[in-house]
Amino acid sequence: MSGQVVLVLDDEEPMRRLCGRVLASMGLEPLFAGTLCEALEKLTGLERLDALVADMRLPDGCGLEAVRAARAKFPLAGVLIITAFVDGDEEAGELAALAGGADGVLLKPFAVESLEAAVKCRLDLGA
């Protein structure tokens, strides 16, 4: 499990910190981006990515753009969308995220245990 790299893309600093604490406690190496542009730059420079945890709504675009970029460079990386917004229709929002390349969707607010289980599933660590 050690050394697995997870990029967290969320424009809210408290959410990035929370995800970082959870991921670090799991023995993973969290990296952070607060904007789509920052995430795309990090993805370009990375040589390894095991998972992406991305918010959908960002100030400079949609997290699904980062999902597509991650999938193009790291096709085996797990992808989890975390979002509070699903355009008024929870099911349609989840379907859009899954169609955009995500492996799963976790709606905010969520329990720490839910994030741990979702990340373990994306990394094939067992739930």
The HSE-up count of residue 121 (CA atoms within 13 Å, CB side) is 14
Specify the number of domains making up the chain.
1
| Each residue's pLDDT tens digit, 67-122 | 999 999 999 999 999 988 655 555 555 556 665 677 888 888 999 999 999 999 98
Q: Would residue 127 count as lying in a domain?
A: no
In a domain, residue 20? The reply is yes
pLDDT at position 1, please? 43
Give the CA dihedral 107, 111, 117, 121, nearest 10 degrees.
10
Is residue 81, in this structure, part of any structural domain at all?
A: yes
Name the residue range of residue 105's domain. Answer: 5-122
Residue 126 is predicted with a pLDDT of 47
Q: Per-residue pLDDT tens for 3-61?
A: 899 999 999 999 999 999 999 999 999 999 999 999 999 999 999 999 999 998 899 99
Here the CATH number for the domain that contains residue 49 is 3.40.50.2300
Q: Model-level pTM?
A: 0.88
